[in-house]
Structure 1
Amino acid sequence: MPNENAPGSPGIDPTWCSSAKDLVTTALGASRVWVTLGYGILNEVFWPSTGQPQIRDLGFIVAGGGRWTELKRLGNYTVATPEPYVPLPTIVHRGEGFTVTLEIAPDDRRDVVLVRYRLEQETSSDADRLRLYPLLAPRLGSRGRDNTAWVEHGALMASQGDCALCLQDTAGFARGSAGYVGRSDGWQDFRKNGRMDWTYPRAEQGNVALMGELDAQEGVLAIGFSGTVVGAHTLVGSSLAEGFGAIRDRALESWTEWGESLRCPGDAASPYRSLTLRSATVLKVCEDRHFPGAVVASLSIPWGNSHDDLGGYHLVWARDSVEAGFGMIAAQHYDEARSMASYLIATQQEDGHWSQNFYPDGTPYWKGVQLDEAAFPILLVAKLYELGQGDGLTGAEAMVRRAAGFLIRSGPISPQDRWEENAGISPFTLAVTIAALVAAAELLSDSAERDECLAYADFLNRRVEDWLYVRDTELCKKYGVDGYYLRMAVRDIFAGRHGPLPIANRGGLTLPAEEVVSLDYLYLARLGLRPADDPRMRATLKVIEGELAVDTPNGVSYHRYNEDGYGEHADGAPFDGQGIGRLWPLLTGERGHLAVQQGEDAAPYLRAMAAMTGPGGMLPEQVWDAPAIPARRLTPGAPTGSAMPLLWAHAEFMKLVAAQHDGKPIELLDAVAKRWGAKRPEPAVWRWRPDAPFEALPPGVGLRVEDGKPFRLHYAMVAGGGDLDGDWPDVQEARSQPAPFGMYAVGFAAKQLKGLAGCKLTLFYEEANQWEGVDHTIALGG
């Protein structure tokens, strides 16, 4: 073949690889490389941070004697590690007449990953001798359309901008080839020719791939990353010179030292020990090196092998970070939890909230706002202080003040729920908000701010059932219950429980809010707002078990909500903006927490979660809930193509193990438990807002009209027996006064309202010289 550049530029449209990871690993040291494994090979490798995948995969073809096999398609392999907390995998592939063993060791001193390989075959005939052919798909700069790849001095190289990689073997490659994916890459070479026929020296500016031929049946490969080609080559050469054994020994020592101090509730023979320790390791692996405390939701891209969207889960969510922080607290690794809290203090927005998600350096990605993400960091900091682990968190009170202020100014309606799909009031978000306000009061030094947090928390807690509990519905009749908690009330407060709720990813489907349920209500008990055995909790559980629970061969799990659309299609095709929601193991964990609080055994839920892991013990975002589809590797109760491992799911498992042992959720704060004793409070003052109004005030309760902007209250009191729908009698005005956290308010004591039928009101905003434009009425209880 002529010594010419590869044909087929620029290659087919690039994708990422499957999110079904066997394992994730990194080194505890200066190295800035994170490795994911899937189908027994290296998948995305991240560098120089957890937010930047740089290759699609690094796999192998085994060929010789007129036949060839690609390891990742073989599907017959095992993954083992020295200990659950030592993520140094040994992968053994078994094919027809051969075995390939791969050992992975990230270098703790360099941005390099080493792969020791050994190919064993049953026959030693020269004619049938097998060789290994590494296949590498660079995606440098986290892009796939403008990489350049080439073969140089026995090494495989690639670059894009200020990103470069080098793949080299201890003995060098016998031959190499650079091509365009789907056109002239190594896999196409074998598919068309049955052997390595092509040796193209270069493929420029496209979706490229590299392949090399190894003469030896055992040796060491190294893949390294740098800002320059020369730098990548130097790092790889240095690691290979130091040797696999020395580098793996260092990694083994550092991970062992870290893991031996993990707390695993129960005895050493606990059936949950392995997954508990592995889960803690996943949380640690997902932490960025340059930005300590930045833990990404997953080192994966859901359904990544079907699209090129970089918006995977290798981003930081404040909610997932706090879930991980509580997981580390469960493992009694307080330093990691403090590091996560410190990172959240640094990434808080000026107004008190956190971006929906962001890269490890703090750069926002999606721009949505979720109230639970503003509340959760308060809970983490409060828990650390409750355990005597908060010392040294400089800026914690300022962070709490900003976050509490945001919650007070913005609540109770959240622009997004925890599933990032709907605006309104959800029991999960509301519970986290209320608990966070009580926690904030414990951490603030200003008495007026403390009082404001507690008063608003009391009011929100009093209104939970008004907003979220429904009766006399079709589901009540179906399950023979008095009522149940909703998934969420829509933005329109007055229509909230019965108004139209859009269902995401279902082609415009809208359902009445009263018909949609979820496990979100469980946090009312988990955070200490309602007793776990409250009749309303039990009634809702009956509906949940009937509507959302599915028994799989691996145990029970739950849908997020009825008619969910986030998951594979009915035929198993990847989610593409439309689909059918599948089962979430983390919800099995949430159900298990309720079992603990109700005095039951959480073992069935722990066993189910443990059984729903992948080959390497990773917990997925979702598991399959329909008949098996072998062609798509979909099996009931087993991982789907969603994110795996999911940080949140692993943290939930760790917390459930701790809750089972301790008898209560780790997130339940003493301050919240003591304030209400899980009973609904009766606040002395109700708070009326234009975006969260109410139509009636109970007797003996004061009224506070408030807003986040200065206003003049234009109002009229209607005497007992008067007509609220009539003309405005005796119009009065009151100028709002500043209140804590940037609010403005006009208040009426309960005695001022005694004997009145109601109040008519509207607001005039002085700064904008504008009337609100809506007349409101509030019926008074006399």
Structure 2
Amino acid sequence: MTSSPPRDLSDHKLPSENPPAEDTPTHGLAPGAPGLPPTWASSDKDFVTTALGGASRLWVTGGHGALNEVYWPSTGQPQIRDLTFYLIGESGWVDLARARRYVFSMPGPYLPLPTILHWGEDYELSLEVLPDPTRDVLLVRYALTGPYRLAMVLAPHLTSTGHGNAAWVEGQRLLAVSGDRALALLAGGPMTHLSAGYVGFSDGWQDLHAHGRLTWAYERAENGNVALSAELVEPSGLLALGFAESVQGAQGLARASLAEGDEPARRAFLHAWEDWGSALRLGGSSPELEAEAVLSATVLKIHEDRTYPGALVASLSIPWGNHTDTLGGYHLVWPRDATLAAFALIACHQRGDARRVLAGFIANQQPDGHWFQNYYPDGQPFWHGIQLDETAFPVLLAAKLREEGEPELEGTRDMVRRALAFVARTGPTSDQDRWEENPGVNPFTLAVAIAALVAGAGWLEEDERHYALGLADDWNERLESCCYVTDTPLSRELGVEGYYVRLAPPTRDGALTGEVMLQNREGKTVEASALVSLDFSYLPRLGLRSARDPRIRGTVRVVDHLLAEETPTGTFYHRYNDDGYGEHDDGSPYDGHGCGRLWPLLTGERGHLALQAGEDPAPYLDALLRCSSPGGLLPEQVWNGPPLPECGLFPGRPNGSAMPLLWAHAEFLKLLRASQTGRPAELLREVEERYAEPLPAEVRHWRPAAPVPQLEPGLLLLIEDAQPFTLHSGFDGWQDVRERAALPLPFGLWGVSFSPADLEGHHRLNFTRRSEAGWEGQDHVIRLGQDTPRTSLPARSGG
């Protein structure tokens, strides 16, 4: 049983400046249309839950002692803002969400059947939150003791918005509809003072605020931000909130659940979760760590869609939701987050769950091989950005399942081939990095792409396989030339030779120069060589470098100096220096810019680095445990400013960002399992073995996004592009000019090759290209010769 500290009150309704006048009729059509601008509930959640098996397609969230968004018929579609409860007595009324005196409990960490217990000097209210496994109905068992009557206010956001909803009262039924989405709230006992109104003007909270009790009986509120309210006559009973495509269907489902009662639903709910969770064997150095691990696995399972199995949304929450009505939130599938969660499920021996994630990727891959930046569970895109790691990650998941001995899913080979073709055509640059902000070459993205080319090569035809492995070797050997700097003011200050940067801008001529725009800092820029992050941590994680490599260790020192912050709950990390994604210093919410806060998942990444370097990961696990919510949920960010109790912000505690964040729970699980097995979940043996010893590349792949300033002796040079071209070339200042037509390569690429013999005796290769659109308008130079040093080969990747 856990208690909740005081948190942000700003998601609750404020008194209207224009309440209904004393002589305004309190029945018929409610006044105040269309209501205040709608928002979602706070992302500060106490719990998330859903029923397994059966026909239910309903997900429930709760925070601040109330019920928040209910998602139906998939995890991508929230249908209410909240369902809140109030006590009405002779001497006044109690707003339970503001009183914040409650505890909540569950029967076990993998039995997500929440009970919320509100308490005061003269009352106790128990609320058991039970999704009916057989219907799209939420059941709430309530029991009140004390000299009060129980009232409730329901805020529909049907079709995932607070705009354009209609709500009305029909007998003992509270009903709402918008488009093809409808809900019905029924009680097992009698209700009184049923009313429909507009939020901020004629809703139940305004009635309570104005009169200390419910007095209004408005029959209908149309086309606006609406709310339904009622008083429950009996001190204990059962509520049923049903959802369907029609009002008739919603109230029919609610009635059926009330008729059958909550006992059969409770038994079925617990049985299904017991059947799934009893097989979990996660371990932990303490009961608290083990309980958090089981809860984390359960949170991952809860976020899987059942209308579209295998779709794992990033979070059943909307960051800073109490200040926005955005349609997206985090209830979308990000291929990166979903893959990393699937790796955590595999680590928990839940391979069937991970197989469904892969099946979902096979179903939603785009014809050219990539996946949308994010999409609703049904595959409809939300944002359309291109992130190369999100194309490569599903390949790693397929390879991991193969390594685990899982039977291959139909369509895997075609999926892998198309994904690797996209990686080969468009890499090593990416339109967006993993933080969805900047183009360029990023060590995280590039590491995932290299690992995918190696791990997926077994599904390719012979010529494609040879090309993919050669490209991976080239990118791996040149990784430092793209993403590593030496002799900078920062390296000299900290006494390290160099460090990996967050990003190499795409507009460069083979050197790490230029500025990077910080997307959340109103156009501020910073030199690429001065911008660092933990993105390099996936170089050891995926087996491309050793955690003991001096370059890795030097970057760890830089990151610990620049990005780490101590808090009362542990050490956490910024995404990168000068980040702007987070609340402003005064506690006001992120609004397109702000001040970057600390990310617990990055503490997990730092813990993996420590583990692979032979250090103890326990402090990092403990920090993740201590920063979790009272219910054990892990946030996207924690606050790192001075305490702001009026905003619910405390150092080392969750801020207003997404919670729970699947990526954070997955990172915790994987770090815990890695501390037991000695190896990261993402470390594939095929990649590890290929780069266990230095592996010189045989080919240099020149392309506009990855120029080759100088070519070492003995290497084949391949000048390539994604479209046909004619190469106009010469040597040593355009001597011996020739033209050659590019020949087709694997994956839809075109290229012109130069063997070492072709280049022998020359010092420079000069060239430009002509395509159907004409000359490219730029001359290129590659330095040649025996005096050109070979790029420093990567250190051994092993432990």
TM-score, structure 2 as length reference: 0.94
Q: Which residue of 2 aligns with 1:338?
A: 355
Per the TM alignment, residue 450 of structure 1 is displaced from its structure 2 partner at its CA by 0.9
1:40 aligns with 2:38: no
TM-score, structure 1 as length reference: 0.96
Q: Structure 1 449/265 Cα, relative in aligned 2: closer, same or farther at 3 Å?
A: farther
1:365 aligns with 2:382: yes
Within 5 A, what are the aligned runs for 1:149-298?
A: 149-266=167-284, 270-298=287-315
Per the TM alignment, residue 700 of structure 1 is displaced from its structure 2 partner at its CA by 2.2
Confirm or deny: 8 A CA contact 1:263 1:330 kept in the other structure.
no
Within 5 A, what are the aligned runs for 1:273-672?
A: 273-389=290-406, 391-444=407-460, 446-494=461-509, 497-672=512-687
Q: CA RMSD in A?
A: 1.2
Q: Which residue of 2 aligns with 1:706?
A: 720
Confirm or deny: 8 A CA contact 2:727 2:739 kept in the other structure.
yes
1:730 aligns with 2:736: yes
Confirm or deny: 8 A CA contact 1:564 1:580 kept in the other structure.
yes
Confirm or deny: 8 A CA contact 1:370 1:420 kept in the other structure.
yes
Q: Which residue of 2 aligns with 1:79?
A: 104
2: distance between equivalents of 1:258 and 1:264?
A: 14
1:716 aligns with 2:733: no
1: distance between equivalents of 2:522 and 2:173?
A: 49
Q: Which residue of 2 aligns with 1:49?
A: 74
Confirm or deny: 8 A CA contact 1:382 1:443 kept in the other structure.
no
Per the TM alignment, residue 680 of structure 1 is displaced from its structure 2 partner at its CA by 4.9
Q: Structure 1 88/570 Cα, relative in aligned 2: closer, same or farther at 3 Å?
A: same
SS for the counterpart of 2:735 is: coil
Q: Which residue of 2 aligns with 1:683?
A: 697
1:741 aligns with 2:755: no
Per the TM alignment, residue 549 of structure 1 is displaced from its structure 2 partner at its CA by 0.5
Confirm or deny: 8 A CA contact 2:572 2:599 kept in the other structure.
yes
Confirm or deny: 8 A CA contact 1:529 1:680 kept in the other structure.
no
**Paired letter, 1:599:** G
2: distance between equivalents of 1:485 and 1:278?
A: 35
Q: Structure 1 306/2 Cα, relative in aligned 2: closer, same or farther at 3 Å?
A: closer
1:754 aligns with 2:760: yes
- Percent identity (aligned): 54
2: distance between equivalents of 1:17 and 1:645?
A: 14
User: Which deviations, in whole Å up to 9, do the C-alpha atoms of 1:646-703 show, x marking residues without a partner?
Assistant: 11111111111110000010100001111011x5532122111123212211122221
SS for the counterpart of 2:128 is: strand
**Paired letter, 1:154:** Q
Confirm or deny: 8 A CA contact 2:297 2:345 kept in the other structure.
yes
SS for the counterpart of 2:551 is: helix
Q: Which structure 1 segments of 5+ residues have no match?
A: 122-128, 719-723
Q: Which residue of 1 aligns with 2:8?
A: none
2: distance between equivalents of 1:215 and 1:465?
A: 71
2: distance between equivalents of 1:392 and 1:729?
A: 54
1: distance between equivalents of 2:367 and 2:165?
A: 39
Per the TM alignment, residue 79 of structure 1 is displaced from its structure 2 partner at its CA by 1.8
User: Which deviations, in whole Å up to 9, do the C-alpha atoms of 1:165-217 show, x marking residues without a partner?
Assistant: 11111013122111100001111111111211211111111110011001111
Confirm or deny: 8 A CA contact 1:371 1:407 kept in the other structure.
yes
Q: Which residue of 2 aligns with 1:125?
A: none
Per the TM alignment, residue 275 of structure 1 is displaced from its structure 2 partner at its CA by 1.1
Confirm or deny: 8 A CA contact 1:486 1:497 kept in the other structure.
no
Confirm or deny: 8 A CA contact 1:177 1:198 kept in the other structure.
yes
Structure 1 runs of 4+ aligned residues shifted over 3 Å read: none
SS for the counterpart of 1:450 is: helix
2: distance between equivalents of 1:480 and 1:466?
A: 21
Confirm or deny: 8 A CA contact 2:153 2:230 kept in the other structure.
yes
Q: Which residue of 1 aligns with 2:19?
A: none
**Paired letter, 1:664:** R
One of 113, 134, 137 as aligned partner of 1:109: 134
Q: Which residue of 2 aligns with 1:16?
A: 40
Per the TM alignment, residue 751 of structure 1 is displaced from its structure 2 partner at its CA by 2.4
Within 5 A, what are the aligned runs for 1:64-143?
A: 64-121=89-146, 129-143=147-161
Confirm or deny: 8 A CA contact 1:49 1:289 kept in the other structure.
yes
User: Which deviations, in whole Å up to 9, do the C-alpha atoms of 1:40-87 show, x marking residues without a partner?
Assistant: 111000111111100000010112022211111122221211111111
1: distance between equivalents of 2:245 and 2:305?
A: 19
2: distance between equivalents of 1:539 and 1:401?
A: 37
SS for the counterpart of 1:731 is: strand
Q: Which structure 2 segments of 5+ residues have no match?
A: 1-24, 787-799
Per the TM alignment, residue 245 of structure 1 is displaced from its structure 2 partner at its CA by 1.7
Confirm or deny: 8 A CA contact 1:530 1:680 kept in the other structure.
no
Confirm or deny: 8 A CA contact 1:700 1:781 kept in the other structure.
no
Moved more, 168-177 or 631-640: 168-177
Per the TM alignment, residue 496 of structure 1 is displaced from its structure 2 partner at its CA by 5.6
User: Which deviations, in whole Å up to 9, do the C-alpha atoms of 1:357-382 show, x marking residues without a partner?
Assistant: 01111111100000000000000000
**Paired letter, 2:652:** G
**Paired letter, 1:48:** P
What number of residue pairs does the alignment pair up? 761
Confirm or deny: 8 A CA contact 1:154 1:175 kept in the other structure.
no
Q: Structure 1 406/92 Cα, relative in aligned 2: closer, same or farther at 3 Å?
A: same
User: Which deviations, in whole Å up to 9, do the C-alpha atoms of 1:20-50 show, x marking residues without a partner?
Assistant: 1111111112111110111111100011111
**Paired letter, 2:581:** Y
Q: Which residue of 2 aligns with 1:721?
A: none
2: distance between equivalents of 1:510 and 1:769?
A: 34
2: distance between equivalents of 1:612 and 1:246?
A: 37
2: distance between equivalents of 1:141 and 1:266?
A: 42
